[in-house]
Each structure stands twice: as structure tokens, then as C-alpha cells.
Amino acid sequence: MLELRNRKVAERIVNQIKALHINLKIMHVCGTHQDTIVRYGLDHLLKTCGVEVIQGPGCPVCVTTPLEIQQAIALAENGVTIATFGDMVRVPAGDTSLEKVRAEGGDVRIVYSIDDARAIAETKEVVFLGVGFETTAPSTAVTVLDEPDNFSVLSFHRYIPPALDALLEMGEIKIDAILCPGHVSTIIGALPYVPLAEKYGIPHVIAGFEPLDVLMAVYMMAKQVQEGRHEVENEYVRCVNTEGNVKAQKVIGEVFEPADASWRGFPPIPQSKMAMRKKYAAYDAAEIYEDVLEGIEELPEPKGCRCGDVLRGVIYPQQCPLFGRVCTPSNPVGPCMVSIEGACNIEYRYKND
């Protein structure tokens, strides 16, 4: 059996990348990829091969906007029970956060899956914060389709391909290839990347999460660049089919429709957010609590925080003046230091421990 952490195999791949004599800047959009890359030191290893890797807007909690965080806080302050994944409660908005509202008596529950939120709904009205890309959205959709009582969703779910499109269109940094996310691709398949590869003339390679998956995907991209190709290739065949998980795509399409939306650090990205269809308004917290949510003015980013630049891949975490000094995982200023999938949190955890 192939051992996906075998050092000898890794060395052979690295040597092959070196032999291609290329200079590449690769972007990926996945916290788990970043975790693998930093944990195993692939960032430094790849630099010796002329390959730079940077994380883009691939952390759902991080790309959630200050306004969205403020909306969740407003609901909690108005006595609404909020159920959410752990990272969200610590994202600061101004001088508050869901965690602080909870400390002041707000009912904010941390859940491990949407099913835990449903269990709360058995005894009281609950709003679930729908955070995540195509990987997580199907679980929200399945739950809504089951028409649970006392249950609604404030959807912050987003689509990855429009964000890649916006980022490449902006052209703020030179990107030579895209390392496509593993489990987002399990859901959406390989086809949504084809128009992007063609439009921008750069390789897109889907990769798994083991160190050898990432190295092999980088080799596949490097080879494409050297041969002047710009195709969509799939290294993660054991978990990604060309057509993706069609059942999951169907439930997403049934419950959600694309809407224009801001992402933290980005101008509005067309058709990038999963808004709940009118048909499911009874489960849409944005409709149910419209009176609480309307008229909230978005607070500016925390002073000095450069999460926006990190999310656009313009700077590495260490280039933010707050990184590791003012801003740490136990005292985070911005979401990229809060979230386990954030580039700053990952960098801090593996390089400062």
C-alpha cells in the first residue's frame, strides 16, 4: 500500500519539481491544505523548488463579513438563541463578539453539527449560523428540507468558484496555478474549474490533504506550466469524481440560490453567496428577524488588522504588524487568527509552539 507520508517518495517528487526549473506562485483556498502545508513544512520545502504557496479566501469563518458577525450578535442581544460552530463565537466585531454576548447572558450555543442545533430546537426557537462552503451547505440544506420546527438558518454559506473568479479577475497578485480544495470538490466535482482554467489560462489541480497529495498536485501543476498546458486535473481521485456528489448539489440548488455578496477583504463578488430561496422563507432567519437585522451599519475592520490582505493572498500572516505580537490565538484581533482554518492561526500554531 502506498504510504501517503513516505519521506522517500516525497523526496523523489520534490527532486522532480526541482528538475523542472520553474518559478511558480500557487494559490489554494482551503484551511486543511494550509494545515498540511505548514504542519509538514511543505511551504519551506517548496520554496527550494521555486514554488511559493499562499492561502486565499479559503476559510469560511474568515471570509464572513463584519456585518454578518454583527447580525448574529444583534440576534443574540435580542434574546434569540444562536447555535454555531465554535470558531464563530470568538470573531470580534467592534468591541464585542458572540462570546462576549454569551458572557453577558446571551444564549449562544456551540454545536458540533447541525443535528445538535436541531436538538436544541426541540425545546426552544433556535437560529443556526450557516457557515461554510459547498462542503457544509448540503447538511444545512438537508436539514431545512426536513422542515424542522422552531428552527431557522442565517445563511453565510458561500460558493468557492465565484471567489476564485473574482480573485483572478482582480489580478492583484500574480497567480500561476490554483490548488483546488479537496472536499469542496468532492461536492462540486471538477467541472466548475474548467471555465476558470480556460478564462485565465492557468492550471487547476484538485488535491487531497496528505503531504504527498499536495506535493504530487504541485508537481502536476508545474509540469502543466512547463508544457504550456492549463487544464483541470484531479490528484484526489479517491474522493473526487468529475461530476461531484450530485445528490448534494441537488439539495444545495433546491434550498439556496446564488446572490451577490461581500467577502471580508473583497469587493462584492457576484453570485457568490447561498441565499435561501423564497420557498423556504419560513426557515430563513434573514426573513424571520428582518426587523432586528435591518439598518445595522457595518463596523470597520479592527484597527491595524490585515485579514483582508491575507485573504486576498497579498501578504503572508507574518507580514501583518499585529501577527504574534498583539494578535494571537488566545487574544485574536481578526478572524484569520481566530479560526482553525485561518492562515494566521495555522502559522502561529505550528511556528510558535
126 close to 81: Cβ distance less than 8 angstroms:
yes
Cell numbers linked to 152? 431557522
> Rounded CA gap, 284 and 337, in Å?
30
Question: Considering only residues 309-328, where is the footprint of other proteins by CB under 8 A?
Answer: 328
Total number of residues binding other proteins (CB under 8 A)? 53
256 binds other proteins (CB under 8 A): no
End-to-end CA distance of the chain: 33
Nearest to other proteins of 115, 169 (CB atom): 115
Question: Considering only residues 194-213, where is the footprint of other proteins by CB under 8 A?
Answer: 208-210, 212
Contact stretch for other proteins (CB under 8 A) within 107-115, 170-178, 189-197, 316-324: 107-115
139 binds other proteins (CB under 8 A): yes
Q: How crowded is residue 88: how many other Cβ atoms within 10 Å of its Cβ?
A: 25
Contact stretch for other proteins (CB under 8 A) within 8-16, 64-72, 148-156, 163-171: 8-16
Half-sphere exposure of 31 (CA within 13 A, CB side): 20
- Give the H or E element holding residue 233: strand 232-234
Binding test (CB under 8 A) with other proteins, winner from 43, 165, 176, 235? 235
Nearest to other proteins of 97, 289 (CB atom): 97
Nearest to 188 by CA among 231, 254, 137: 137
Cell numbers linked to 147? 422542515
CA distances from 207 to 148, 198, 242, 340 (A): 36, 19, 13, 20
Binding test (CB under 8 A) with other proteins, winner from 157, 158, 183, 306? 183
> Rounded CA gap, 259 and 275, in Å?
6
Binding test (CB under 8 A) with other proteins, winner from 26, 30, 46, 101? 30
245 binds other proteins (CB under 8 A): yes
Nearest to other proteins of 81, 339 (CB atom): 339
Binding test (CB under 8 A) with other proteins, winner from 175, 216, 293, 307? 216
- Give the DSSP letter string of 26-69: EEE--HHHHHHHHHTTHHHHHHTTTEEEEE-S--HHHHS-HHHH
Question: Is 144 strand, coil or helix?
Answer: helix
Question: Considering only residues 31-90, where is the footprint of other proteins by CB under 8 A?
Answer: 31-32, 35, 60-61, 85-87, 90
Binding mask 261-290 for other proteins (x = CB under 8 A): ------------------------------
115 binds other proteins (CB under 8 A): yes
192 binds other proteins (CB under 8 A): no
203 close to 178: Cβ distance less than 8 angstroms:
yes
Contact stretch for other proteins (CB under 8 A) within 26-34, 65-73, 279-287, 313-321: 26-34
Strands 269-276 and 256-261: antiparallel
CA distances from 228 to 3, 27, 214, 234, 236 (A): 31, 18, 21, 18, 23
105 close to 59: Cβ distance less than 8 angstroms:
no
Nearest to other proteins of 60, 66 (CB atom): 60
Q: Which residues bind other proteins (CB under 8 A)?
A: 2, 9, 12-13, 16, 30-32, 35, 60-61, 85-87, 90, 110, 112-115, 132, 135-136, 138-139, 142, 182-183, 186-187, 208-210, 212, 216, 219, 235-240, 245, 247-248, 251, 328-330, 339-341, 349
